[in-house]
Structures are given as C-alpha cells and as structure tokens.
Amino acid sequence: MPEVKLEAWLEETRQFAPSPAFAADANAQPGIYEAAISDPAAWWRTQAYRLVWDQPPTQTLEWDSPNARWFGDGTLNASVNCVDRHVAAGRGDKVAFHWVADAEGDERTITYRDLLSMVSQTAHALTELGVQKGDRVAVYMPMIPEAVVAMLAIVRVGAAHSVVFGGFSADALASRINDSDCRFVVTADGAFRRGSISPLKPAVDEALASCPGVKSVLVVRRTGAEVGWVDGRDHWWHDVVERQSTTHLPEFFEAEHLLFLMYTSGTTGTPKGIYHTTAGYLVGAATTYFNVLDAKPESDVSWTAADIGWITGHSYIVYGPLINGMTQVLYEGLPDSGGQDRWWRIIEKYGVTVLYTAPTTIRMLMKWGEDIPRAHDLGSLRLLGTVGEPINPEAWMWYREHVGGNRCPIVDTWWQTETGTMMIAPLPGITATKPGAAMRALPGIGVDIVDNDGNSVGNGEAGYLVLTAPWPSMARGIYGDPERFRSTYWSRFPGRYFAGDGAKRDENGDIWLLGRIDDVMNISGHRLSTTEVEHSLVGHPAVAEAAVVGASDELTGQAIVAFVTLKQSALVDGDDQTELIESLRRHVATTISPIAKPRQIILTPELPKTRSGKIMRRLLLDVAEHRSLGDVTTLTDPTVVNMIATLMTSHSANDD
C-alpha cells in the first residue's frame, strides 16, 4: 500500500455546485458520462469528428496490451487541423495568439491567417534544410510565437518534434538529442526572463559538441545577443524562413504516425522519450479541451500559463486550443516580470476568460498577497484550471476567492506526459467540486484504485491509481525501449496502466490524488527522479555517494534534499564546506537544470543502509521532513540516522 498524505481528506465535506447559468451553457452536458460508459471506444469514435481527415477512419481501436492503434486507417495532417481548417472556414482574421513579451509593451497579435503563412514558410524552410518525414527535430525555444510555429511546421512535413524545456542544461539537451537521433535543432539566440537574457544558442553549441548526428540548426534572433556560429550548420530563421512562399500544400499521414516525443523523468537516471502518435493524441487533446476547459471559440480568450517545453503546453497551448479554434494569450515572461501584478494586468488587458495553471504558481501568487489581484478587474474570468501536482485546499480556496471572485468553477485536472491529455477532472457545469479533489474519471476513461494484488480498494482507502482501458491519447511507447514501456506501465497490473500515483476515493466515490508512490519527485510541477539527481551528484569529483529525497515544501510542493558523503580526498570543513555545497548545487544545475538544484545538501560521513546494503531513503525522507524516526532495526548502524538528523538541523537550508 502506498504511503500517502492524508491532510486533504479533511476537506471532503466542502462542495461547490456549478451555477445554473454556467451549467446551462456548458459544453459538457449531463448524460455525457452515460453516453461513454457502455462502450468507451465507440464514444471516442464519435469524438474523432472533431478532427478534419483526409481519409476518415473506419477502424476505432486495435488493442494488444500494451500496444494500441486508434483510428488506424485514417489519414490526416496535424497542422491542417490546427490552422488551415480555420482559415478555410473563413476564420482567418480570428486572433490565434495575443503574444505578450517578458518586457512591458512588447506584444504581437497573430491571426489564424498569419499563423498559416508562418507555418507554411517554416515548413518550406525545414524541407530546404533536409528535414523529411519520419525525422526527429529538437526544439529548444523561449515562449515566442516561433516556438509554436516550429512545432506545427515540423509535424506538417511529417517529422516529429522533441521539445526540450529551455531551462534544461546543455548536457540534458545533448542526451535527449542523441537518444532519439535528432538531426535538426530549432532554437533562439536566447530567452528573456525578467529582463535579463538567458542564453539558448550557447547551450546548443555546447550540446552539439557531443551530438555528431545534427546537421542543421535553425536560430531565431530573439535577444540580439552575440552568438557563436558554425557556417554550414547554423541558419538564421530570418534568412531561411522569411523568403519562403506563404502557401504550402500539406501531405497527409497515417493516424499512428509519430507526432512528437516528450522526455520525462522516470524512476531511473535516464529520462525516457514518451512517444505520442497523431490521430489519437489530437482527438484526446481536442475533446478534453472542449469539455473540461469548456472551449467557446467565439467568446473566450484562453490562457494556459505553462511552458511549451512541457506536455501541458503541447496539449493545452498548441494542439487542444488550436484544433478548437481558440484565441489565446501566449506569455513569454515570469509571473513577476515587470512586477508582481503582471498576470492580473494581462488578464485585465486581454479579457482572459479561462486560466489554466499549476498549484505551485498559485501558491506563489498567494504568497505575494491578495491585495495585488484585488486591485485589478478580473471579471472576465469564468473558469479556472490547475494541473501538475495535488493542489492543497488552501491554495484552491484562494484561487477560487481571489482570482475567480467566488464565481468561477475550478477544474483540478490529473494527467501525465504519458496519458497525453487529461484523465481525471471535474466537468464544469456538471460536477460539484471539492477543494483538493480531481473528482472523477473523464468520459471514455476507466480509472480504478487498487491494492498490491490489483483488487479495487473500498471508498476511504488509499491505493494505486490505474487506468483500466486504453484511451486515444495514451503513449504508444518509450522511444527505442519497448521493454521499458511494458515493464514500467503495463506489467505491475497486467492489462492495466500503472500511473505511479497514490489515490483514494472518498465516501461519495470522488477521487483524491495523493502524490507519487515511486522515486519520482514533483518540484514546482516539474518532474524529476531522485536517481537522476543522485547520478549528477556522484558525477562531481568530490562525491563518493549521494541519496536524494523529495521533501514536502510549502511553496514548491516538494523540494530536493540531498545527503552526500565525500571522498576521503575531498573532505573539508568550515567555510570550505559551504563553498563545496554551493559548487555541488551549481553542478546539478549545469548537468540537469536549475530546477534540479537541491534546496539543501547535507554532508554526512555515512548514509543509513540496510544489512543488504540498500540506502534507506524512507528514513532520510523522515529526517528531511523532521519527522520522528520509525523502525530502524534493519539498519546496519542505527546511530547513523540520528547523526544525520543532527547534521540536518545544524545546516540551515542552503537555498538561493
């Protein structure tokens, strides 16, 4: 049975029913669950009409666990679904994106017609550079329109994007490029963050020193910073893209054609390339966006405040909203670029109606105080969403009251990179919500909560979350490693998808997520494995051994605490110790990402181990969270833990 946190359960009794006005107008109407329940695959088949096809599918699902084919004989083009169809239907003048830069006053409006021209030109440019159907193209970009354009152009020519979050290091970029043998990279000279430049092209140059397969790099000039240049390999976007024709005749691809890879952390040290294919993923993104975020293309201005470097950006900035023909805000900066009221000014200026973001951001906004949102007119908002980690009831209530004016429904959406799209969430207008609960499986999705033997647990009991039936947007694999795909997700409970999360149903059968039950940490909604950080630390010349845990943190959900033993030759004390800890933290930032920097590093002469030599991470977590220590009888030397606990309290958190 997973060990879980229980505090959220206390909140179960509080409920918020949808207002009759919202309910009357909502996209999802009562009856939607019943329609899907008897034959989910058939229900998904009816959702496939949301796409435009070259050859509409006659097949729905072929399922030989863990291999699925959805809409197998259909053919389509993803970018046509996102862009061309809207222009063809006479909606070319509709705004696709209000792009808002990090810097005040720098804004661009991009209509669907503009988007079609840009995607067409970029598709031609990619072809000229040699990109072909079936290739993988790495995208390492800031949040600028060209990032979305690049993704759509890549899939338009039948290649697949592998977007790597711009906050990842050169090493992390290189390993992702090599794992999927990307031969092309799209990037920018740099990104703006709160007015300062964070370089991207230099990281690409560093990465490519160990990526001999990369032939061409396409570079957007964003910051104007001087960058290194490799003639023949590097091409400026404005040289290659802007001279191309603005019309481009698309080809059509099979439903199961690879659409993109998204690397994510598992329980081992190597990130896995999650493999998503075209039609099923797009059907999932379009359908969930329509029902859960209640897409109203005529009147909504939607803002998914996430980075396109993560799955949330793929599904709910790019594919879901564009298929639905939405107008969106695309924001380059941080929540406090230009002041802690920046978000509220953006919402006010553009009349944002639907806001979708992560609990960690809500907690940060909450910390800055409600006076800041109160000074703005947020009356345009009508629906709020959250994703990425369990939301604590306090943050949920703050979001409801101070952002949603007690009038907007909140949808807490549970899903993963691997599920592609939302799996568990309330339907606004139907579901009475509870602060902290993701509530129920969406139509067409089968969820269960089971014990160690795979038997359903009763209401009120915690267990493992599983998905019981295939769904269109499910990952089709891990790039290059079908065995890892099977063993990670489909063999713990054969035929069912093992999510790696703990969950429980309350007395009404509503679902509460209880956090990861494996070695995956969730730092501000970013997924990292303990092993990945341990590998990085052990890669430092001073380190002999490292153990990493994700400790609860009020702001970031979890924070990384590392316990490190040094090599004999590297032992130091006093100021040198502080300096060494700093250099270890920098080392993790440069080998993985600043996100992965431990909040605290404890140097200890020993790590607690069982008699068979396994590090007792559970105990270290207790230490990191300052809990009383449980059973230590299997330890070789129980005094080690007490020693570490003392060290822990004598070091203050060495956070930035």
**Looking at beta carbons only, is 438 or 560 nearer to ligand WT7?**
438
Beta carbon of residue 315, minimum distance to ligand WT7 (angstroms, whole number): 8
Whether residue 261 contacts residue 420, with contact meaning beta carbons closer than 8 Å, is answered with: no
Whether residue 44 contacts residue 444, with contact meaning beta carbons closer than 8 Å, is answered with: yes
Q: Which helix (H) or strand (E) holds 43?
A: helix 40-47
- Beta strand segments in 407-523, E: 410-413, 447-450, 462-467, 477-478, 497-505, 511-516, 520-523
Beta carbon of residue 426, minimum distance to ligand WT7 (angstroms, whole number): 11
**Looking at beta carbons only, is 190 or 284 nearer to ligand WT7?**
284
Three-state SS letters, 148-189: HHHHHHHHHCCCEEEECCCCCCHHHHHHHHHHCCCCEEEEEC
Beta carbon of residue 552, minimum distance to ligand WT7 (angstroms, whole number): 14
**Looking at beta carbons only, is 522 or 604 nearer to ligand WT7?**
522
**Looking at beta carbons only, is 145 or 266 nearer to ligand WT7?**
266
Task: Report residue 3 as tokens.
Answer: 């060990």
272 touching ligand WT7, by CB under 6 A: no
Beta carbon of residue 500, minimum distance to ligand WT7 (angstroms, whole number): 6
Query: Per the omega criterion (within 30 degrees of 0), is the bond before 66 cis?
Result: yes
Strands 511-516 and 477-478: unpaired
Instruction: Identify the DSSP state of 214.
Output: -
Beta carbon of residue 417, minimum distance to ligand WT7 (angstroms, whole number): 3
- CB burial class (10 A; 0-12, 13-18, 19+) of residue 338? middle
Tell me which of 415, 493, 497, 563 binds ligand WT7, using CB under 6 A.
415
443 touching ligand WT7, by CB under 6 A: no
Alpha carbons 362 and 557: distance in angstroms, whole number: 11
How many chain residues interact with ligand WT7 (CB under 6 A)?
Answer: 22
Tell me which of 12, 171, 307, 501 binds ligand WT7, using CB under 6 A.
501
266 touching ligand WT7, by CB under 6 A: no
Residues 422-441 that bind ligand WT7 (CB under 6 A): 438
Beta carbon of residue 515, minimum distance to ligand WT7 (angstroms, whole number): 6
264 touching ligand WT7, by CB under 6 A: yes
**Looking at beta carbons only, is 313 or 608 nearer to ligand WT7?**
313
Which range of residues in 29-37, 55-63, 386-394, 488-496 is near ligand WT7 by CB under 6 A? 386-394
512 touching ligand WT7, by CB under 6 A: no
**Cα distances (Å, whole numbers) of residue 63 to 39, 66, 213, 471:** 14, 7, 35, 10
117 touching ligand WT7, by CB under 6 A: no
**Cα distances (Å, whole numbers) of residue 50 to 22, 69, 286, 324:** 23, 18, 7, 8
**Looking at beta carbons only, is 411 or 640 nearer to ligand WT7?**
411
Which range of residues in 87-95, 407-415, 528-536, 580-588 is near ligand WT7 by CB under 6 A? 407-415
413 touching ligand WT7, by CB under 6 A: yes
Beta carbon of residue 285, minimum distance to ligand WT7 (angstroms, whole number): 12
Side-chain half-sphere exposure of 80, counting CA atoms within 13 A: 18
Radius of gyration of the chain (CA): 24
Beta carbon of residue 499, minimum distance to ligand WT7 (angstroms, whole number): 6
Whether residue 522 contacts residue 264, with contact meaning beta carbons closer than 8 Å, is answered with: no
Beta carbon of residue 516, minimum distance to ligand WT7 (angstroms, whole number): 5
Binding map of ligand WT7 across residues 531-570, x = CB under 6 A, - = no contact? ----------------------------------------
414 touching ligand WT7, by CB under 6 A: yes
The residue assigned the tokens 């940060």 is: 364
Cα angle 160, 446, 510 (rounded to 5 degrees) comes to: 120
Alpha carbons 159 and 169: distance in angstroms, whole number: 24
390 touching ligand WT7, by CB under 6 A: yes
Whether residue 348 contacts residue 376, with contact meaning beta carbons closer than 8 Å, is answered with: yes
**Looking at beta carbons only, is 190 or 273 nearer to ligand WT7?**
273
**Looking at beta carbons only, is 218 or 430 nearer to ligand WT7?**
430
Residue of 221, 220, 190, 201 lying closest to 125 (CA atoms): 220
387 touching ligand WT7, by CB under 6 A: yes
Instruction: Identify the DSSP state of 391.
Output: P
Residues 309-338 that bind ligand WT7 (CB under 6 A): 310-312
Which range of residues in 137-145, 364-372, 415-423, 586-594 is near ligand WT7 by CB under 6 A? 415-423
Tell me which of 235, 296, 527, 587 binds ligand WT7, using CB under 6 A.
527
Give the residues lining the site for ligand WT7 (CB under 6 A): 264, 310-312, 387-390, 412-417, 438, 499-501, 513, 516, 522, 527
